[in-house]
Amino acid sequence: MIRLTRRGAIGAGGAAAALSAAHAAPLAATAPAPRETVALDAGWRFHLGHAADPARDFGFGLSHDSYAKSGEIGTPVAGAEFDARDWATVRLPHDWAVDLPFMPFGPPGSEADRSGAFQGFKPVGRRWPETSIGWYRRALPIAAADAGRRLRLEFDGVGRDCLVILNGFVVASNESGYAPFTVDITDVARPGEENWLVVRCDASLGEAWSYEGAGLYRAVRLVKSHAAHVRRWGAWVRADPVPAGAALRIATEIDNHGPACAARLRSTLIAPDGGRLARLEAPLDLAEWSGRTIEQRLDLRAPALWSPATPQLHRLITEVLIGGQVVDRQERAFGIRFARFDPDRGFFLNGQPLRIQGSCNHQDHAGVGFAVPDSLHAWRIEQLKAMGCNAYRSTHHPPPPAVLEACDRLGLLMLCETRQMSSNAEGLSQLERMVRQARGHACVFLWGIGNEEIHRGTPTGARIAATMKRHIRALDDSRPVTEALNGKLGQGAAAILDVMGCNYHLDEIDAFHAANPAMPMIGTETGSTVTTRGVYARDDAAGLVPAYDREFPSWASTAEQWLRFYAARPFLAGGFVWTGFDYRGEPTPFERWPENASHFGQLDSCGFPKDNFHYYRAWWSGETVLHLLPHWTWPGREGAPIEVWAHSNCDEVELRLNGRSLGRRAVERLGHAAWTVPYAPGRLEARGYRAGRPVARARRDTAGAPAALSLSSDRRRLAADAVAVVRVALVDRAGVEVPQADRLVSFALHGDARLLGVGNGDPRSLEADHATRRSTFNGLCMALVQAGPGGGAIALEARAEGLKPALLTLAGLG
């Protein structure tokens, strides 16, 4: 049995009004929200169970009558007297799979070996019963004063099948590893007494064809509210264009889990600048144990609009009042924007054409697996925006709230996609929870109902798609529906969709458009160039592919190929490159031990940019870009030809070696400039020109032997729980980064913070993510530092044998 013993594990209807935003009234001070939300991040104990042996699964299932009597689950873990002091202490988010050892799944070249590569060679699944069950346990803070309140648990996502047990009662089960869910625990909670929450997670059956973690890898919270309260995700705003501005439709879902009462709904709208735009009130006659949806409407003249360039967010404050007292209050951000697709001209936002420049993204990150903290989610989206992305596809699952909020705040549109394309009760439940969670977010502009489904081109697929679309329409009538089809564009579900989603298969696109000229189209998955950061020659034995935009699987294309194809067809709304970041599993083209991570990303798994990142930045960001590749440190290759590329949006690029011009090259739109240069140590320099004038420079200097470590981070001041991504580089005596030498780096952290995880972007690495040391890969590795609640100075020290150490200081804000 593989057992986790590490302590301190990482977890890480009112009257319409017409108002002008330019004459907003100041917002009066408001009383604290009467509802209480308690984050359940800390205080958990964790232990592995066993999927095949009840005796090693804490007795669960040992007796066939475990469910015979309600409140008797058949395991001592659920009882208040259970002693879990020998269990690991963990903090959410937590992914136990990332801490499991890497393990071959079968002989080299076997189907089991290939399956292991796709799952990141982590022993999770039915073949690994001793590491596929996880038990979590903690006390719940329910005071005597909470008697009479409604008590609910909110889970943002659990991997995967789970039972939720409170005080010995099974209060919920959940099948999806990604869809959020809510559990009302009022009946079995014991205010003023001990309350023990237990979650049993079973990751034996997965949902993805790549690594997907295991456990409580997203947030859990306890919500205490009045019997009359706004439902989770129950208040949201839709905006329709009108000649004078925007017509807002405010929908509020109220549940009354108590006696009948007379109440009022008050909705307050706050402008991006903090001024109050409007306050709407409506009477509420709430029947006993009932639910109601209240519609309120408001016309705004010249409102501030949300867009990727100006992601201006309003706020909606929703209050329920009884007898003049506020008994429930919610606040959420929303954006006002008008989106539409045109079958001939692509996508329009706020009346202006907008080319979709997106990336597809999985959940995981180096150092933490699936247990990505909120601030790291936001950091990842910032990197995508720096690349020039204006859109994000949540592939292939409902996203966590932090991703939705970051896309709202930073200005990335989102294609929000469900995992299970099914019209059965479970599939529709997952779909409904995804839509309800995301429909209030300005960023979401498309609903995705499936990805490369085997039944996509069949009558069955069409019927399922029609049911799912109908279900979405009942929840949200403001956004179109798509499905990502890899081929079979004119078949099955295709006729049901509002927007055709195209995965690769460029050869089918023109024919489909000619046959279906009224159907808008978008590239839901494109590109799939495979590159390894810092590698410039293919090495099949080592499992490495070059960083030139050249290698791709049979179904895919290079970055240049797909961008040029789409740019020549205005009817295509743009597309989403596969992928933004490298991710665990699916290590095309090397599907074998020890390859355990993909090569598809424009950034590696640590978030370090690859060279293609700069290609997209040149043509997407709107900034002047000049990027040279490869590095210029090739000892022993003097005189050998080196292929040099420049990713740039300049008109021309001139290349110089040690001061001598090697000529200018014109840069074609969506292309690159290239030279073949006999290697000589020194300085390789590029100069970019527009209209004959120099506008940019880039250089590569030959590095000497590694002499020191260098630490850097774009985060130097950290709020509590915020994460700094620390870049660790090997440098020579002159401070030039050494691109090919590698060393083992050890870390020591001082202050109120923790070393959350480490990584290096090597798709073959078998080193631990939760550790105090990491080898560099092509000169780089990464450390994740998470600030604690106390604030104060934080210092990260890095050492490597024979090198000058480095120290990075950060400020914790508490």
Mean pLDDT along residues 501-527:
97
Residues 291 and 210 in one domain: no
Instruction: Give domain status of residue 784, yes or no.
Output: yes
Task: Name the pLDDT band for 627 (thresholds 50, 70, 90).
Answer: very high
Residues 208 and 300 in one domain: no
AA identity, residue 151: L
SS3 assignment, position 442: coil
Digit-coded pLDDT (tens) for 127-159: 999 999 999 999 999 999 999 999 999 999 999
**319 within some domain:** yes
Write down the pLDDT at residue 70: 85
Q: How confident is the model at residue 62 (pLDDT cuts 50, 70, 90)?
A: confident
The fraction of the chain above a pLDDT of 70, given in percent, is 96
Residue 402 domain-assigned? yes
Lowest-pLDDT range of 154-158, 219-223, 453-457: 453-457
Indicate whether 221 and 254 sit together in one domain.
no
Is the per-residue pLDDT at 419 higher than 90?
A: yes
Structure tokens at 326: 């506020």
CA distance 532 to 546: 6
Task: Kindly indicate the confidence band of residue 68, based on its pLDDT and cuts at 50, 70 and 90.
Answer: confident
Q: What is the CATH number of the domain that holds 196?
A: 2.60.120.260
Residues 190 and 53 in one domain: yes
Is the same domain home to 329 and 399?
Answer: no
In a domain, 279, yes or no: yes
Indicate if 169 and 286 belong to the same structural domain.
no
β-pair partners for 746: 773, 799
State the CATH number of the domain containing residue 416: 3.20.20.80
Nearest to 780 by CA among 712, 733, 722: 712
Q: Tell me which DSSP letter residue 640 carries.
A: S
Residue 531 lies in a domain: no
The residue-averaged pLDDT of 32-42 equals 86
Share of the chain above pLDDT 90, in %: 92
Number of structural domains in the chain? 5
Mean pLDDT of the chain: 94
Helix axes 374-387, 611-620, angle to 10 degrees: 70
| In a shared domain, residues 206 and 71 | yes
**Per residue in 648-687, pLDDT tens?**
999 999 999 999 999 999 999 999 999 999 999 999 999 9
28: confidence class by pLDDT, cuts 50, 70, 90? very low
Same domain for 212 and 106, yes or no, is yes
- Which residues make beta-bridge pairs with 485? 502
**What tens digit of pLDDT does each residue of 238-252 get?**
999 999 899 999 999
Average pLDDT on 470-482 reads: 97
Give the lowest-confidence range in 74-88, 406-420, 686-700, 723-737: 74-88
Q: How many helices (DSSP H) and strands (DSSP E) are in the chain?
A: 8, 45
Is residue 611 in a domain?
Answer: no
Q: Tell whether 298 and 407 lie within a shared domain.
A: no
Closest CA to 121 of 147, 97, 86, 148: 97
Q: What would the 3-class secondary structure string for 305-336 be? A: CECCCCECCEEEEEEEEECCEEEEEEEEEECC
pLDDT of residue 209: 87
- Average pLDDT on 350-378 reads 97
Beta pairing partners, 451 = 484
The partner residues of 812 in beta bridges, in order of sequence, read 718, 792
What proportions of the chain, in percent to the nearest 5, are helix, strand and coil?
Answer: 15, 40, 45
pLDDT tens for 691-719 read 999 999 999 999 999 999 999 999 999 99
Amino acid at 574: G
Give the pLDDT confidence of 297-345 residue by residue, as tens digits.
999 999 999 999 999 999 999 999 999 999 999 999 999 999 999 999 9
Residue 522 covered by a domain: yes
End of a domain among 701, 726, 751? 701
pLDDT at 270 over 50: yes
Give the total residue count for the chain.
Answer: 814
Q: Which two tokens stand for residue 794?
A: 């934080």
Structural domain of residue 636, as residue ranges? 626-630+632-701
Average pLDDT over residues 710-733: 97
Domain boundary at 183, 199, 225, which?
225
Overall average pLDDT of the 362-381 stretch = 97
Question: Using CA atoms in the order 242, 243, 245, 247, what is the torsion angle rounded to 10 degrees?
Answer: -20
Q: Report if residue 605 sits inside a domain.
A: no
Q: Spell out where 439-546 has E strands.
A: 444-451, 481-485, 499-503, 521-527
Same domain, 327 and 435: no
- Judge if 318 and 427 occupy the same domain: no
Query: Which of 195, 225, 255 is the last residue before a domain boundary?
Result: 225
- Taking CA 221 as the corner, what is the angle to CA 219 and CA 226, rounded to the nearest 5 degrees? 150
Same domain, yes or no: 236 and 215 = no
Query: Does residue 22 surpass a pLDDT of 60?
Result: no
- Which pLDDT score, from 0 to 100, does residue 341 have? 98
- CATH classification at residue 234: 2.60.40.10
Confidence class for position 521, pLDDT limits 50, 70, 90: very high
